[in-house]
Amino acid sequence: MSKTTQAPKALRGVGNYIDDRFHLAKTGEKNLRKVFPNHWSFMLGEIALYSFIILLVSGVFLTLWFKPSMVEIVYDGSYERLQGVPMSEAFASTLHIDFDVRGGFLMRQIHHWAALIFVAALVIHMLRVFFTGAFRKPREINWLIGVAIFALAMVEGLFGYSLPDDLPSGMGVRILQGVMLAIPLVGTYISMFLFGGEFPGEDIITRLYVLHVLLIPALLLGLIVAHFMILWHQKHTQYPGVGRTDKTVVGTPMFPAFAVKAGGFFFFTFAVIAGLSAFVQINPIHLFGPFAPTSITSGLQPDWYMGFMEGSLRIFPNWLDFTIPIGAGYPIMTAVLVPGLVIPGLIFGALALWPFIEQWITGDKKAHNVADRPRNAPVRTGLGVAGIVFYGVLWMAGSNDVLSETFSIDLYLTTYIFRVLAIAGPILGFIITKRICLGLQHRDRETLEHGYESGTIQQLPSGEFIEVHKESSDETVEVLSSKRDPSSTALTDEDVDATGVENPDARKGMGKLRRKLAHWYTKDNVSVQGLEPHSGHHLHHSQEHASEEGGDVER
């Protein structure tokens, strides 16, 4: 006879007291049973979340000893090679963390590695959302929040990288100031306000510190909480499969299975970051020395997520610089302004606007809870790869000096090569990716219609040898059959009224543009609509053809 174990009377009393006032029992039970789909790619967002938590904890530790001051002192700490060297209190306090605080260097390494992994997980997570169309209705707002988190994470990383006031970080701040100065009319005022005077001034580290530890983390925390609240309310997207529809979710309940898995994954993420921090040194500022405006360095690169801006600044030509004839002449430095502000603005602007652009092209305003397979949206996938290629070319261009020295290539030649690749690379990436997606669609149609090749050879009564195709699994059939033909209301008769008169808006410039974009977006599609899946009861289409014709198949 089993015995039911009850909670202690005191705890039951507290629980009943709270539930009588807030009615949390049913709500809590419902939320604990919420189902999350099972797929490894859904864990990418969790890696970003766990890295952010590690960033917050390690950042609090570092703030206990870091001094955000540019007051110059003479170093007399434990690191003998820099004793007697003039430096800022910010750099000296960072050396103190590294060499005098127990576990300080490890904690600073953990903070830096967690930042790199945080941004990397964000990027890969956003790519997964983009390529699967998980940004579509009703998740457009959550996509915009994700883009904002990505942009703030990059700015937060730039400011944190600059705080130690070492030579490479000082050069990064100098580049930041150069971009500010390139802004027409107000650039000099912005620079003087931020730096508190001429570069480098005495206030920039203090001001970046306030932004890095207070304002931007608060914004990030608020956006991340909003992101997960919306995700919780709208439910997670899922990949096509048996039993998975826009109204049905197949997966693991929140408690206990998903909670245990998520908890274990947090410790796994922390273990990877701690292992990298213990065995792979990053940003050894004691080897670089303090920043001095008269010193330069080579062979060093910014954190990977800022490499694209470094590359665009290196390869963008100065042919387009011009002077406005105001007074003695006002120069417009497009060689700094465009790569420093315009290109990042275009990248983030395209990311933010694409859900609405795609919705405008297709006219699709239905809610989507089942994700696309990337091959089934070849134009979207091709554009995503084109963006990756563009970003990657600029990222590689940020190390053109290292590539030139390593491979003994003329530095200016690498610049010209990257200029060509920045234009031709995305175009080739789009074309190749789209052709691959269409090829995969043809293969999927063949598999759905004729099954998969079994490797078994059979001889027909006619003497012909054929390979027996076997029936695909129910899961495969469901996945392949889930493909929906891309369509657009711009290509239907919805722009014609009952009397056959065309909508005047369709004849205007935007209407014509939408129709052309819709045709470009939907053409070349390989349809599987109305296709009967292979049943396994026939051997091959040639055998069926032979039986229909009443004879053998001639080759």
Given a contact cutoff of 8 angstroms between Cβ atoms, the answer to whether 464 and 409 are in contact is no
Helices (H), 235-342: 259-279, 285-288, 307-315, 334-337
pLDDT in tens, the chain (555 residues): 444 455 566 666 776 777 777 766 666 666 667 777 888 888 899 999 999 999 999 999 999 999 999 999 999 989 999 999 999 999 999 999 999 999 999 999 999 999 999 999 999 999 999 999 999 999 999 999 999 999 999 999 999 999 999 988 888 888 889 899 888 888 889 999 888 888 888 889 999 999 999 999 999 999 999 999 998 888 888 888 888 887 878 888 877 778 888 889 999 999 999 999 999 999 899 988 898 887 777 777 888 888 899 999 999 998 888 887 776 677 888 889 999 999 999 999 999 999 999 999 988 888 888 889 999 999 999 999 999 999 999 999 999 888 998 899 999 999 999 999 999 999 999 999 999 999 999 988 888 888 877 778 888 888 888 777 788 788 888 888 888 877 777 776 555 555 556 666 666 678 888 888 888 888 888 887 777 776 654 444 444 444 444 444 333
For residue 344, give the nearest of 117, 147, 168, 538 by alpha carbon. 147
Second CATH level (architecture) for the domain 45-311: Up-down Bundle (1.20)
End-to-end alpha-carbon separation of the chain, Å?
76
Strands 35-36 and 72-74: unpaired
Domain boundaries, the chain: 45-311
Q: What is the largest CA-CA distance in the chain?
A: 99
d(CA 462, CA 49): 64
**pTM of the prediction?**
0.87
Residue type, 554: E
CA distance linking residue 91 with residue 286, whole number of Å = 9
What tokens were used for 236?
A: 């997670």
Q: Is 165 exposed, middle or buried (0-12, 13-18, 19+ CB in 10 A)?
A: buried
- Tokens 């963008």 correspond to 316
